[in-house]
Amino acid sequence: MRLPRPPDWLVYSGVVFALVLFSLGRRENADAPPAPPPPDASEGALLGPITPFDPSVTVTAPDLSFRPTAGTAFSIAGQGRWLTARHVVEGCRRPALVVGGGRAVAADVRLSPRADIALLITAGGPPALPVTTITPLHVGQRAFHPGFPQGAPGEVTSLLLGRETLKVRGRGARDEPVLAWAEVGRTRGMEGTLAGLSGAPALDRRGRVVALTIAEAPRRGRIYTTAPDTLGPAIRGEQRPDEQLLGEPITIENYGRVSDDLRRDLRVAQVVCLAA
């Protein structure tokens, strides 16, 4: 018994369909990855570059001998590289990082000549916090500042206001571009000054360091940090580009717990000046 021959149009259609499937299977796949999630509704315009018209704030650095102080530092490389604020360790003969149990690890210091930034060097250290100086910043975006305000564990959250110029007069006179942030939350029960938070990282929601905390204006409720223009040169060549992000996003609900974890792991540590 012979099967009926299929019509020619069906044979040709099947051949064409097979050729189309074959060509599609060999086509290059150059699709872009999914778009990033949209920013918070509170985020505003993209932060622009430095201009001569940026608002300015003037501070006077006392021309006095060094007074022992304490601040915050954070790891930027596991082989023992840390950042803190320059004014925390400038003039200190024996800076050290507190590692718990009444113990501290001595550190060498390299001061940035143009910014309130200092690089601390120790013999080894904890995993780094990834630093980004190329990610666009937006007015209204949130930052988290874990550290040691008033010499005790604590943290602050803030919203970006914009650029300003810090005019330092007196010892180490300079004009330094900075970012101004509005403080919108802090450790429950903590009142008064944020002294001791200098040198703390300013983290975005993904746990990346976007700035370094350097000053506050308590009456105005403002926090000042470095700008990408000064932070980038200060860390050049000190951090690998593939440092791991934190395991979870930072939110206003969990930033206290995340800050505690960073301090416990010594990725954020207290800086002190030991007696000579």
Sheet strands (E) in the chain: 56-61, 70-77, 81-84, 95-100, 103-106, 108-111, 118-121, 142-147, 154-170, 174-186, 201-203, 209-217, 222-226, 268-273
Average pLDDT over residues 52-59: 54
pLDDT-wise least confident of 139-153, 154-168, 195-209, 260-274: 154-168
The pLDDT tens digits of the residues spanning 161-184 come to 999 987 766 555 668 889 999 999
**Cα–Cα dist 118/111, whole Å:** 5
Q: Is the pLDDT of residue 57 over 70?
A: no
Q: Which amino acid is at 99?
A: V
Count of helices and strands (H, E) across the chain = 4, 14
* Per-residue model confidence as pLDDT tens digits over 169-228: 655 566 888 999 999 999 988 999 999 999 999 999 999 999 999 999 888 899 999 999
| Higher pLDDT among residues 266 and 48, named by residue | 266
Q: Is 37 left (phi over 0), alpha (psi -120 to 50) or beta?
A: beta
DSSP string, 167-224: EEEETT-EEEEEEEEEEEEESTT--S--TT-TT-EEE-TTS-EEEEEEEEEGGGTEEE
How much is the CA Rg of the chain, to the nearest whole Å? 26
Q: How far is CA 264 from CA 13, 73, 90, 251, in A?
A: 68, 13, 26, 19
The pLDDT assigned to 31 comes to: 43
Full-model pTM: 0.78
For the chain, helix, strand, coil in percent to 5 are 15, 35, 50
